[in-house]
Amino acid sequence: MGRFWVCLAGAGFLLALLVLHSRFCASPVLRKFAFQISWRTKEIPYRLDVGWPKHSEYFTGATFCVAIDSLSGLVYIAQRGDNIPKVLVFTEDGYFLRSWNYTVDTPHGIFAASTLHEQSVWITDVGSGSYGHTIKKYNSFGDLVQVLGTPGKKGTGLNPLQFDNPAELFVDDTGDIYIVDGDGGLNNRLIKLSQDFMMLWLHGERGTGPAKFNIPHSVTVDSSGRVWVADRGNKRIQVFDKDTGEWLGAWNNCFTEEGPSSIRFTPDGKYVVVAQLKLSRLLLVAAPPVGSISNCSVIGSIQLADQVLPHLLDVSGKTGAIYVAEIGAKQVQKYVPMNSHFPSFGS
């Protein structure tokens, strides 16, 4: 026991010498040590809500996507499988409300775009059946309202508009629609449509250069008018001007291991939440200021269990909670901010 205390005292003395040396001689040794300790012990500002949903038995297939209607407090989940309901509707508190299946073949992405006058849900369908290769608009109860694309026929055409494995879409506050078309299909393109479905601009070519894509998998728009695309196959995020479609820059330094599969902003616009499918990991990234894209800077991460496979996610505009659709675990999990107010990560 005496030897233990002698060793401990010696370690403490050595650490004190390092502190003094760093303070007076500007040595980087201790700074590196302190950074590693700070990083490893930094508290992740989210916790898993183990009580959400109240009844998980409604997950009966592979859960591919989730969308939050913050205005109505509803959570829409789309799942794949035979003879199961394809769309599940929960409250943000976790209570199951209803399900529907009409005209849904093989859902991939989902987006809730509600106003005070209308609750709408958009689904990208990558199926090979009579409803596949389309983007469809429904009301909250599953009634089909609008179909974009040529049902059951994949293609590259623009007039009439055709899709091949459309991955996801985002509808902004003006009603304009941003579509990433090409989850491994013929197309690798980003399309902007007006609220009356007129083509406004398009980037559409497979490649590694600016404004070219390899499996554009997720899309979102920030409050500064920038369009962010998870260019999964190229292991980067590309950014465009919302109005002109001009390419603004790209992030690739954060995704050397695996490309991003999903991207959303926190309600305050300060942070980006990114999913990496095969790594089963969520990244929390600092959003760049207006007028600059800069480099990707990871603030923290949430490591999920192996083979959970987070595919697409959404963030509640009201509470800041992150909902993650996990195709491996066949469930949707909810991560809530640790504090009552949205976390600031110390800023």
| Single-letter amino acid code for the residue at 57 | E
Number of alpha helices (DSSP H) and beta strands (DSSP E) in the chain: 2, 24
How confident is the model at residue 115, as a pLDDT?
82
pLDDT at 114: 85
Where does the pLDDT of residue 147 fall: very low under 50, low under 70, confident under 90, or very high at 90 and above? Answer: very high
Between 59 and 10, the higher pLDDT residue: 59
Distances (CA, A) of 208 to 37, 71, 126, 190: 37, 38, 24, 14
pTM: predicted TM-score of the whole model, two decimal places: 0.86
Whether the CA torsion 148, 153, 159, 165 is positive or negative: it is positive
Mean pLDDT of 90-112: 96
CATH of the domain at 269: 2.120.10.30
Please report whether residue 16 resides in a domain: no
- Section 133-159 average pLDDT: 95
Q: Is residue 344 included in any domain, yes or no?
A: no
In this prediction, residues 89-115 reach a mean pLDDT of 95
Q: Is the pLDDT assigned to residue 271 strictly greater than 50?
A: yes
**How far does Cα 242 stand from its chain's mean position?**
19
pLDDT of residue 347: 36
pLDDT-derived band at 4, boundaries 50, 70, 90: very low
Dump pLDDT digits (tens) for 178-218: 999 989 989 999 999 999 999 999 998 999 999 999 999 99
For residue 57, being part of any structural domain is answered with yes
Over the chain, what is the mean pLDDT?
87
Q: What is the pLDDT of residues 10-54, one digit of tens each?
A: 444 444 333 333 333 333 322 222 222 223 334 568 999 999 999
- CB burial string 4-14: b at 16+ within 10 A, e below: eeeeeeeeeee
Give pLDDT, residue 15: 40
Residue 299 falls inside a structural domain:
yes
Does 21 reside within a domain? no
Report if residue 14 sits inside a domain: no
Helix, coil or strand: residue 135:
strand
Query: In 3-state terms, what secondary structure has residue 255?
Result: coil
Could you tell me how many residues make up the chain?
347
* Residue 61 or residue 40, greater confidence: 61
265: pLDDT strictly greater than 60: yes
Which pLDDT does position 44 carry in this prediction? Answer: 66
In a domain, 327, yes or no: yes
Rounding to the nearest 10 degrees, give the CA dihedral for residues 29, 35, 36, 41: 150
Measured N-to-C along each axis, helices 2-25 and 28-41 cross at an angle, to the nearest 10 degrees, of 110
Query: Mean pLDDT throughout 300-304?
Result: 94
CA dihedral for 21, 22, 27, 32, sign (positive or negative): positive
Domain with 313, as residue range(s), is 46-337
Residue 118 is predicted with a pLDDT of: 87
Cα 19 off chain centre by? 42
CB atoms within 10 A of CB 20: 12
Flag whether 240 is in a domain: yes
- Name the residue among 219, 216, 248 with its Cα closest to residue 235: 216
Give residue 45's pLDDT: 85
Q: Which amino acid is at 129?
A: G
Q: What is the mean pLDDT of residues 119-139?
A: 95
Report the DSSP pairing between strands 216-221 and 226-231.
antiparallel
CA dist 272 and 288 (Å) reads 10
Output the CA angle 275-281-284, nearest 5 degrees: 65
Q: Provide mean pLDDT across the span 2-11.
A: 43
Q: Give the count of domains, the chain.
A: 1
Q: How far apart are CA 325 and CA 331, in angstroms?
A: 6
